[in-house]
């Protein structure tokens, strides 16, 4: 019998369509009534996925291949203007969190029909969280209307994804899953999704090491999908709050920031999340959950230092002050000295 728990089921329509992204997307657009799509991506993605974009021309009305990390407000408004100018009724986004973030904004604020084709493993496409960068701050919102009307997963779209992006975007999803293990209000279904997400990511990287690229990337997309569902059902804590503060202040890449922060956020919460600690150790091995996650990420080539990804040492106090000013839920209350140690250790990249 459940007590003091919440069970909520987000409305998510996902199609796992290996090697059939174009066909699945065209059929989805037809079923959703989308006739004039704004095709959203990055400059690099316009070339990397050129064949897929060409296959989607029957429903394309305009292109916007200028997505940037953290969705700066100028980029958001330029994308919105293109959507309106070409009388688009929907959005097709191919790429990672930056691209899908623009689709979320148009879905929530312009009632756009939204089809997402994720090519990284963060799982942001399944969450109801979206945001934009304004005046040096990442401002986020939660709105169920931002979710894609359909998500199409085709592992072949991420076959040539660089190993660095593979591990760092997966670390973002692992962070989703970890924080879903200690929510403000217990959510047993989210916890189940979170554990399966952790297993899928562990299995995916083990398989990648063994050379089975396609199977590995199918697992990593699946892990991203589940991790996004889990965090969307349970809400974020200290780790993601910190990542948003750091991203807004210094424009650091979100995925790499996750890799550097997560082991230290887990260490900060030691003693307050015993069940989560045990689950993490059970999946990844080791005797200390924070060290286990640090070792997993560093083994697969993730940057473990905020310094290495561009944060200045003088930024440590700015991060601490920004976090204290925007603190939300966390199982361990915020302590300024301990928080400063967390940020300093992540800046230096030392093993917790």
Fold of the 14-158 domain: Rossmann fold (3.40.50)
Flag whether pLDDT at 4 surpasses 70.
no
Q: Could you give the percent of the chain with pLDDT greater than 70?
A: 97
- Say if residue 3's pLDDT is above 90: no
Is the pLDDT reported for residue 8 higher than 70? no
Whether the pLDDT of residue 134 is over 70: the answer is yes
Residue 12's pLDDT is 84
pLDDT digits (tens, 9 = 90+) for 313-348: 999 999 999 999 987 899 999 999 999 999 999 999
The CA-based angle 16-103-155, given to 5 degrees, is 25
Q: Which long-range contacts (CB under 8 A, 24 or more apart) does 255-258 make?
A: 255/96, 255/97, 255/120, 255/122, 255/165, 255/168, 255/169, 255/171, 255/172, 256/168, 256/302, 256/303, 256/309, 257/306, 257/309, 258/168, 258/171, 258/172, 258/175
For residue 265, pLDDT beyond 60: yes
pLDDT of residue 11: 78
Mapping DSSP onto H, E and C, the string for 3-70 reads: CCECCCCCCCCEEECCCCHHHHHHHHHHHHCCCCEEEECCHHHHHHCHHHHHHCHHHEEEEECCCCCC
The rounded percent of the chain whose pLDDT value lies above 90 is 84
Whole-number pLDDT of residue 2: 55
- CATH 1.20.1090.10 domain extents, the chain: 163-348
Q: Is pLDDT at 1 greater than 70 in this prediction?
A: no
pLDDT band at 349 (very low <50, low <70, confident <90, very high): very high
Superfamily of domain 163-348: Dehydroquinate synthase-like - alpha domain (1.20.1090.10)
Predicted model pTM = 0.92
pLDDT, averaged across the chain: 94
User: Residue with structure tokens 């904004």?
Assistant: 105
**Above 80 in pLDDT, residue 74?**
yes
Over residues 219-262, the pLDDT tens digits come to 999 999 999 999 988 989 999 999 989 988 998 988 999 999 99
Q: Inform me whether the pLDDT recorded for 98 exceeds 70.
A: yes
Note the pLDDT tens digit of each residue in 136-186: 788 888 899 999 999 999 999 999 899 999 999 999 999 999 999 999 988
Dump pLDDT digits (tens) for 46-61: 999 999 999 999 999 9
pLDDT given at position 150: 96
Domain(s) labelled CATH 3.40.50.1970 in the chain stretch across 14-158
CA-wise closest residue to 266 among 182, 167, 350 = 182
What is the mean predicted confidence (pLDDT) over 29-41? 97
């Amino acid at each position: 019998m459940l007590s003091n728990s919440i069970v909520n089921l987000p409305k998510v329509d996902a199609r796992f369509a290996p090697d059939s992204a174009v066909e699945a997307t065209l059929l989805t657009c037809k079923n959703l009534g989308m006739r004039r799509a704004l095709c959203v991506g990055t400059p690099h993605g316009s070339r990397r996925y050129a064949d897929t974009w060409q296959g989607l021309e029957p429903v394309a009305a305009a292109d916007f291949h200028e997505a940037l990390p953290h969705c700066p407000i100028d980029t958001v408004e330029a994308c919105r203007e293109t959507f309106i100018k070409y009388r688009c009724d929907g959005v097709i986004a191919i790429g990672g969190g930056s691209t899908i973030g623009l689709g979320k904004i148009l879905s929530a604020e312009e009632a756009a029909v939204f089809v997402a084709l994720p090519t990284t493993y963060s799982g942001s496409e399944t969450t109801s969280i979206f945001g934009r960068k304004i005046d040096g701050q990442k401002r986020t919102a939660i709105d169920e209307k931002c979710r894609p009307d359909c998500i199409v997963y085709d592992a072949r779209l991420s076959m040539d994804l660089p190993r660095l992006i593979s591990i760092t975007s997966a670390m973002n999803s692992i962070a989703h899953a970890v924080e879903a293990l200690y929510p403000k209000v217990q959510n047993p279904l989210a916890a189940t999704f979170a554990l399966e997400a952790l297993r899928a990511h562990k299995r995916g990287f083990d398989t990648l090491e063994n050379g089975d690229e396609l199977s590995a990337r199918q697992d990593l997309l699946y892990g991203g999908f589940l991790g996004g569902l889990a965090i969307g059902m349970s809400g974020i804590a200290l780790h993601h709050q910190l990542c948003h503060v750091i991203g807004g202040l210094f424009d650091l890449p979100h995925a790499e920031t996750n890799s550097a922060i997560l082991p230290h956020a887990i260490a900060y919460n030691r003693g307050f999340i015993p069940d989560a600690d045990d689950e993490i150790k059970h999946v990844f091995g080791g005797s200390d959950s924070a060290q286990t996650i640090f070792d997993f990420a560093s083994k697969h080539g993730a940057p473990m230092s905020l310094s290495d990804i561009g944060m200045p040492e003088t930024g440590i106090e700015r991060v601490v002050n920004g976090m204290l000013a925007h603190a939300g839920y966390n199982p361990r209350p915020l302590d300024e000295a301990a928080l400063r140690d967390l940020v300093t250790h992540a800046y230096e990249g030392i093993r917790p």
